[in-house]
């Protein structure tokens, strides 16, 4: 079994600051981490590797510094890692990113057929949840999103059975392989890396691919291949109004009556609007 896990190095959202003048994200001094949602997919891929054997290849697109996240993934037990890095990739939106990652997965598939592709549900910096489905569409893979549990994998019949969380409850789905999966948060707990894997991660040479290695059309990556443009990032202004405390004796009914009276006093037209 060959599993590809797509991860992304993101700034720690708990420490992100916005420049007060330019309204852009200030990345200086902000530590970079593996996107937390990607870790649930990585752990599930490693569990399948423990169960069935095979390889787990970790793939990311980013600047050279993203190598740190790949080595972190290797320390958890991934087999090998690929870094897509090129100045031509800069500024890629989700459409261009999915194209570049798809091109890399196709190249990996030629080396060894890919059975499963795991992606994070979304990233904490973009929050679009579009890259995983974009890869599935481009590769014509069965798409299983918001998976809470993998019930069974049958390599002989090339089938996978999963539990998928939906608004109406839980769906039990059986699909053919290959497939693309995004795991739901809380579906598992990331393991600790062993000393052997940590040493292996430190000395393993990473595969570094540029656009010339796997991308056929450079007009589909970077700013040229990105129809989405972020015009501005800003911090919402704090509200000037303070919360009002309603004090009334007589229990919940009296407090509710006092709240209604205050609403009608503050918004005189509200009564007429309700009558209409």
Q: Give the pLDDT band (50/70/90) at residue 268.
A: confident
The encoded tokens of residue 53 equal 């054997």
Beta-strand pair 55-61/179-183:
unpaired
Out of 10-14, 17-21, 33-37, 204-208, pick the least confident: 17-21
**Please, what sign has the CA dihedral across residues 28, 32, 35, 36?**
negative
Give the pLDDT band of residue 19 (cuts 50, 70, 90).
low
pTM, to two decimals:
0.81
State both tokens at 252.
């919940």
Q: How confident is the model at residue 27 (pLDDT cuts 50, 70, 90)?
A: low
State the chain's mean pLDDT as an integer. 89
d(C-alpha 258, C-alpha 190), whole Å = 50
Residue 37 has pLDDT above 80, yes or no: yes
* Model confidence pLDDT, tens digit, residues 39-92: 999 999 999 999 999 999 999 999 999 999 999 999 999 999 999 999 999 889
Q: What is the predicted pLDDT for the residue at 91?
A: 86
Query: What is the pLDDT at residue 24?
Result: 60
pLDDT tens across 115-173, in order?
Answer: 999 999 999 887 888 999 999 999 999 999 999 999 999 999 999 999 999 888 899 99
For residue 227, the Cα-to-chain-centroid distance in whole angstroms is: 20
Which are the contacts of 50, defined by CB distance < 8 A and separation ≥ 6? none
């Amino acid at each position: 079994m060959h599993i590809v896990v797509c991860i992304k190095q993101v700034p720690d959202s708990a420490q992100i600051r916005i420049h007060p003048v330019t309204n852009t994200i200030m990345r200086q001094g902000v530590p970079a981490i593996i996107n937390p949602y990607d870790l649930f997919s990585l752990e599930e891929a490693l569990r399948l590797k423990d169960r069935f054997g095979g390889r787990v290849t970790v793939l990311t697109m980013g600047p050279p510094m993203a190598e740190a996240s790949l080595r972190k993934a290797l320390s958890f037990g991934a087999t090998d890692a690929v870094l897509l890095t090129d100045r031509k990739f800069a500024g890629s939106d989700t459409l261009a990113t999915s194209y570049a990652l798809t091109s890399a997965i196709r190249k990996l598939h030629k080396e060894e057929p890919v059975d499963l592709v795991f992606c994070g549900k979304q990233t904490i910096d973009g929050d679009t949840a579009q890259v995983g489905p974009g890869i599935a569409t481009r590769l014509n893979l069965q798409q299983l999103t918001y998976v809470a549990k993998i019930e069974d994998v049958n390599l002989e019949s090339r089938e996978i059975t999963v539990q998928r969380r939906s608004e109406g409850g839980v769906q039990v789905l059986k699909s053919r392989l290959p497939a693309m999966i995004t795991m739901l948060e809380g579906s598992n707990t990331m393991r600790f890396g062993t000393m052997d894997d940590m040493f292996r991660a430190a000395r393993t040479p990473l595969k570094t691919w540029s656009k010339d290695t796997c991308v056929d059309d450079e007009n589909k990556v970077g700013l040229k291949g990105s129809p989405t443009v972020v015009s501005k990032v800003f911090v919402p202004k704090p509200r000037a109004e303070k919360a009002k405390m309603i004090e009334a004796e007589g229990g919940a009914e009296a407090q509710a009556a006092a709240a209604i009276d205050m609403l009608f006093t503050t918004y005189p037209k509200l009564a007429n609007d309700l009558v209409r």
